[in-house]
Structure 1
Amino acid sequence: MSDKKNKRRQKKRRFLVLNKDGYYDYSLLAVVVLLTCFGLVMLYSTSAYVAEARFEDDMYYFGKQAAISAGGIVCMVIISMFDYHILKNFTTFLYAAAMVLMLLVLSPLGVTVNGAKRWLKLGVQFQPSEIAKIAAIVCISYLIVQMGKQIQTLRATVVLLGIGGVLGATAYLATDNLSTGIIICGITWILVAMASPYTRYFVAITAVMFVLLVILVQILKFSIDTAESGSFRVQRVLVWLHPEQNSDAGGYQVMQALYAIGSGGFFGKGLGNSVQKLGSVPEAQNDMIFSIVCEELGIFGGALVLLLFAYLLYRLFFISQNAPDLFGSLLVAGIMIHIALQVILNICVVTNIIPTTGVTLPFVSYGGTSILFLMAEMGIALGVSHQIKLQEVEEESRKQIAVSGQRH
């Protein structure tokens, strides 16, 4: 009987992380919890009036988000206790599940919210495109490790880009979610560029694509009128170029968000004192919540939020740099790329640097599916950190101190 018990314990230990050195990135855990708590405070401040008007309950949005966030934090800690290498066994399943679930949005199971059919209802309502982001990170990381030296060939690079590209294209075509498609393709592009010996070519191609995009925008600006355009995407670009002239064609939300940011000044009007959240900025608790942050807390408050995200990315970079193997390093790098892209796109949309697209601000915007899968990603990153040897971390810290000393 004792032999059977020992065998069962050994099987469990294969999946659980038992790091005798005791390293765990509590700094990452702390900044995630801090951002989540800040997001809940801002969510209540932003959504209380609208929730009272729609549902006669000012805690409607806050209550749902708080419950999901608490559950997400618990899941994050639990996931961090498991060996991240078990993800290698689920790469094919994750990729297939993400594809199937996104395609199911086109079926009667798909749910339309605010004019967009991006949700799926299978007992609970969720966005399958969020699963696709994790699938892209895990699958591309795993394939890079499996290919080994073959990653140096052009064929392997094309295959990897194709796998990520198909997932991104499905997210766009099946769920009509261009922003998620861009994020998935961005994650794939940067991960492959990091692992490939053709990094300089990736940089050159990216620069050329950016120049061509600028030229295309200029052509649209001078050759097509907003009223004449039949394409929804083209209309968004034209509205972005002149939002003040197209307030009735989609520029209203952006203009009101810019008014909110401008009226907040440096230190803001004070928490809870936003005027634009009283219906002027439609669905402010979602994509445009950063504009209310700036109105109530000012540019100073907005800068502090960005500094928190910068520190979050720094901790992810640190874990990726010190990960015990290439798979762990790529996993955390993919998570870092995802967070960075989503924050950049959201801030750029709110400040009208790029055309409007549905990208939430991680840990701050309202959205149950988003917060759950973000917490799952943070759990994976913490799981990687849990396998870093404490001695290696101390050596890396000494190297950083030595380098900074030489500079001075």
Structure 2
Amino acid sequence: MQHARADYYDYSLVAVIVLLICFGLVMLYSTSSYMAEVKYGNDMFYFKKQAAISVACIVMALIISRIDYHILYYFTTILYVAAFGLMLLVKTPLGTAANGAQRWLQIGPIQFQPSEIAKVAVIVCLPCMIIKMGRRIKTLKACMVLLGVGGLLAFGAYQFTDNLSTAIIIFAITVGLIFVAHPDTKIFFILGGAGIAGIAALVMFLNATVSVDGDISFRLRRIMVWLHPEDFADTWGYQTIQALYAIGSGGFFGRGLGNSIQKLGSVPEAQNDMIFSIICEELGIFGGIIVLLLYAYLLYRLFFIAQNAPDMFGSLMVSGIFIHIALQVILNIAVVVNLMPNTGVTLPFISYGGTSIVFLMAEMGLALSVARQIKFKDS
């Protein structure tokens, strides 16, 4: 006789998340201690802030995991409107700038990036819409509606927070969820191939026609730095070249934890987007591979939850989280090794940043909430 066994909890997912956060804190201290001492007179300035937020976020994720995720089904519209409205506020006096970009909101003592909320909104709202559409998801009209809903948030991230990388991630999550839910996948491969060919043609055209000495926009400048980093080694491409030096000097096993030379000011803001280059310098390619294996296992656990979720809402929501994490890891590491232009995407759970860890851990809490309702059959 078989019966369903409930009370499942994905401790493996919890373990890999905690391991990534702890590893990130160790590398954050190693990467940022020198510059923190120079700027603030406290070598643990960045570490203390990130450690406090990380501990609070782990507790938050465990609390969220105990809440029935189906409750979100009734708040999707509010979440969507709130995400878009908060991005609108960035252009008001409530918005604050940092590192030359106005992407933050300052509400009392709290400062955060509303575009991060938009990522969560698209991960929660689109599955709800797909479920309501039912079989109509296979129609062109339904796909266009979903693209419009996700595209509007992507547009808001680009237009109001001047954050192209987040806009790309939001739109990619939208396309990915439609791909997962749509019964016919051939058209997506065709469109994807056409899109890649178009991007390749554009890059070749820019490479052939744009002069490195010309007056170009900063986004076009990033493409030129990607194509010819050595031509901009002392200006726009300085960070990219120094990051590549860090990776190259680390060899296979690295200089040793804490022994990075490039972190001593050569790689600007090394604790943020470029932290993977310092990991490779101190721990070598071997350390970089270990980090990638940890991410691979994290994604495997998310895939397992999505495959075994008790309903379509939970499955699609975890699929969206999977797409988000995978995209950020791929984009960040591709930028660090100069496989694509600089996008300003953080490395999940490792890069310094309070807003990023808060919403990533909120997503992990949702994934754990879905996992808790998985039922297995006992023989």
Superposed pair shares fold, TM > 0.5? yes
TM-score normalised by length of structure 1: 0.90
The answer as to whether partners of 2:247 and 2:284 remain within 8 angstroms in 1 is yes
Alignment of 1:255-274 (within 5 A): 255-274=241-260
The answer as to whether partners of 1:239 and 1:249 remain within 8 angstroms in 2 is no
Answering whether residue 72 of structure 2 is matched by residue 87 of structure 1, we say yes
Match of 1:223 in 2: 209
Out of 97, 105, 108, the residue aligned to residue 120 of structure 1 is: 105
Match of 1:29 in 2: 14
- CA-based RMSD: 1.1
Q: Which deviates more from structure 2 when the two are superposed, residues 239-248 or residues 46-55?
A: 239-248
Q: How many residues get paired? A: 375
Q: Which deviates more from structure 2 when the two are superposed, residues 359-368 or residues 248-257?
A: 248-257
Out of 13, 23, 27, the residue aligned to residue 42 of structure 1 is: 27
Displacement of 1:131 in angstroms is: 0.3
TM-score normalised by length of structure 2: 0.97
Displacement of 1:239 in angstroms is: 1.1
Match of 1:158 in 2: 144
The answer as to whether partners of 2:5 and 2:376 remain within 8 angstroms in 1 is no
Structure 2 unpaired stretches of 5+? none
The answer as to whether partners of 1:22 and 1:390 remain within 8 angstroms in 2 is no
The answer as to whether partners of 1:179 and 1:359 remain within 8 angstroms in 2 is yes
Taking the aligned partners of 2:63 and 2:5, their CA distance within structure 1 comes to 18
Cα distance per residue 1:103-126 (max 9 Å; x no partner): 111111111101011111012100
Out of 265, 273, 276, the residue aligned to residue 287 of structure 1 is: 273
Match of 2:84 in 1: 99
- Which amino acid letter does the alignment assign opposite residue 75 of structure 2? F
Taking the aligned partners of 2:178 and 2:7, their CA distance within structure 1 comes to 32
Find the residue that maps to 1:270 and give its secondary structure: coil
Find the residue that maps to 2:104 and give its secondary structure: strand
Specify the structure having the higher radius of gyration (Cα): 1
Cα distance per residue 1:142-181 (max 9 Å; x no partner): 1001111111211001000111011111101111111100
Answering whether residue 70 of structure 2 is matched by residue 66 of structure 1, we say no
Match of 2:299 in 1: 313
Taking the aligned partners of 1:282 and 1:145, their CA distance within structure 2 comes to 45
Alignment of 1:285-364 (within 5 A): 285-364=271-350
The answer as to whether partners of 1:343 and 1:361 remain within 8 angstroms in 2 is yes
Runs of 4+ in 1 over 4 A off after TM superposition: none
Alignment of 1:150-299 (within 5 A): 150-299=136-285
Displacement of 1:316 in angstroms is: 0.2
Answering whether residue 357 of structure 2 is matched by residue 371 of structure 1, we say yes
Cα distance per residue 1:265-303 (max 9 Å; x no partner): 000000000000000000000000000000000000000
The percent identity for this pair of structures is 64
The answer as to whether partners of 1:105 and 1:111 remain within 8 angstroms in 2 is yes
Displacement of 1:22 in angstroms is: 2.0
Displacement of 1:226 in angstroms is: 2.8
Find the residue that maps to 2:75 and give its secondary structure: helix
The answer as to whether partners of 2:90 and 2:160 remain within 8 angstroms in 1 is yes
Out of 123, 127, 131, the residue aligned to residue 145 of structure 1 is: 131
- Which amino acid letter does the alignment assign opposite residue 36 of structure 2? A
Find the residue that maps to 2:106 and give its secondary structure: strand
- Which amino acid letter does the alignment assign opposite residue 67 of structure 1? A
Match of 2:119 in 1: 133
